[in-house]
Amino acid sequence: MANEKKINYVILGFLCYEPLTGYEIKKRIDNSLSFFWGGSYGSIYPTLDTLVSEGCVEKEQETSGRGKIIYSITEKGRTLLKEWLVRPVEKDELRYETLLKLFFGSELGREGILVHIQKFEKKTRDALMLLEMYAANLESARPDEEHQYYLLTVRFGIETYKAYLNWCQQAKTVLQQG
Amino acid sequence: MANEKKINYVILGFLCYEPLTGYEIKKRIDNSLSFFWGGSYGSIYPTLDTLVSEGCVEKEQETSGRGKIIYSITEKGRTLLKEWLVRPVEKDELRYETLLKLFFGSELGREGILVHIQKFEKKTRDALMLLEMYAANLESARPDEEHQYYLLTVRFGIETYKAYLNWCQQAKTVLQQG
DNA sequence: GAAGTCATGTAATTGGTTACATGATTGA
DNA sequence: TCAATCATGTAACCAATTACATGACTTC
């Protein structure tokens, strides 16, 4: 109960803005949620089926072209989403293998740990650059409500990644001076 | 393959320092890893069995008292741990439901989002205070290698949580001024 | 003697990924 | 024509949690 599946709400959330295919939903997730949430076809398509059977989503197949299946949200779906949105957050979870390896660092030694930190630093730097691009784009676009919330999540990522980089510097100094 | 189970290594990691019971391993996880890793009895006990049958860990039952089962690491176990430690990190993952709700904030509205942010802020502040206590303790203790790595993970948490709090301020300002 | 912690475990469930299979459309 | 992308799905697998069951020891 405490760990209700969330992919439902991700789907409903995106369908709130516009009708989409399963494929497009996956892209939306990858593009705008990926640094704090995920979702695979193996969870998206079956969930779309369930949502249809529950009357939260409607499907319509294009007669022309590729015959894409386009899903749109119903009133019931919208209500379900809102009910979830007002409920308190159940879990915010960080699972960093880098930290796990670092924690047991005395078994690996300085050199090895430094390698992990350098990779982490690079990964973070790349991710930060991407988010900064997103932020710039969102800021230059005409500000509407949707974008405002999107931008806030992006800023969260930016602040967090900057803190990571800052920490990387500290950690490298500590490890190098012994 | 990409997603090998990690609880093995968590257990081996703690057993590297000293022999422990399953119950104690759980406590170690809760006390020192909880902000970036988890583990339940339902995964610890069965994994201990497998590790024993693979010869990575040895069990010994106390004859006196409660008859606790004390596990200790073998050479094979130590080797396995080291092999994992040198391998590159596979996944660092952040899953923040708070950000998910925020992202779909236009469906909930400012007020509701502010509630989530305030709760997030409080939770973060509490966690930060705890980590700062840990850091103070670790710093005042005689510095050895193990503690150095432990301290680095704690500092990571501290930097990160400070960034979160900083972001909370920004976000509240943005939302309140409209 | 009651509450709390120490201590070990199992069964059921589950949310989710990975890998595979298939094929249409588009653009170089 | 060939590669890339668009597009939909399924089957197998899996790590892990939750909830439950049991009972001994300690401390007030």
Residue B1, pLDDT score: 38
Helix or strand (DSSP H, E) at A111: helix A110-140
Q: What is the mean pLDDT of chain A?
A: 95
Q: Which of A42-46, A127-131, B137-141, B167-171 has the lowest mean pLDDT?
A: B137-141
Residue A2, pLDDT score: 47
Residue B66, pLDDT score: 87
For residue A144, name the pLDDT band (cuts at 50, 70, 90).
confident
Question: Which candidate in A3, A104, A148, A170 is best for mutational testing of the B interface (most B CBs within 10 A)?
Answer: A104
Question: What is the tens place of the pLDDT at every residue in A49-92?
Answer: 999 999 999 999 998 888 899 999 999 999 999 999 999 999 99
For residue B141, name the pLDDT band (cuts at 50, 70, 90).
confident
Distance from CA(B7) to C1'(C17), angstroms, rounded = 18
Residue A73, pLDDT score: 98
Question: What is the tens place of the pLDDT at every residue in B52-90?
Answer: 999 999 999 998 888 999 999 999 999 999 999 999 999
Q: DSSP 3-state assignment of B40? A: coil
Q: Are B99 and A153 in contact (CB under 8 A)?
A: yes
**Residue A23 touches partner B, C-beta closer than 8 Å:** no
Whole-prediction pTM: 0.95
**Residue B107 touches partner A, C-beta closer than 8 Å:** yes
For residue B143, name the pLDDT band (cuts at 50, 70, 90).
confident
Nearest to B156 among A99, A106, A146 (CB): A99
Distance from CA(A1) to C1'(D22), angstroms, rounded = 25
Provide DSSP, A142-153: PP-HHHHHHHHH
Report the distance separating Cα B66 and Cα A119, nearest Å.
Answer: 46
Closest alpha carbon to C1' of D12, residue: A42
Question: Which candidate in B99, B144, B154, B170 is best for mutational testing of the A interface (most A CBs within 10 A)?
Answer: B99
Question: What is the tens place of the pLDDT at every residue in B31-54?
Answer: 999 999 999 999 999 999 999 999
Number of CB pairs < 8 Å for A and B? Answer: 195
Q: Is residue B177 pLDDT above 60, yes or no?
A: yes
Interval A95-100 mean pLDDT: 98
Q: Is residue A1 pLDDT above 50, yes or no?
A: no
Residues of B in Cβ contact (< 8 Å) with A88: 116, 119
**Per-residue burial over A22-54, b = 16 or more CB atoms within 10 Å of its CB, e = otherwise:** beebbebbeebbebbbebeeebbeebbeebbee
Residues sharing a CB contact under 8 Å with residue A81, sequence separation 6 or more, in sequence order: A9, A12, A13, A16, A73, B104, B107
Interval B93-99 mean pLDDT: 97
For residue A178, name the pLDDT band (cuts at 50, 70, 90).
low
Overall residue count recorded for chain A in this entry: 178
Distance from CA(B117) to C1'(C4), angstroms, rounded = 35
Residue B178, pLDDT score: 67
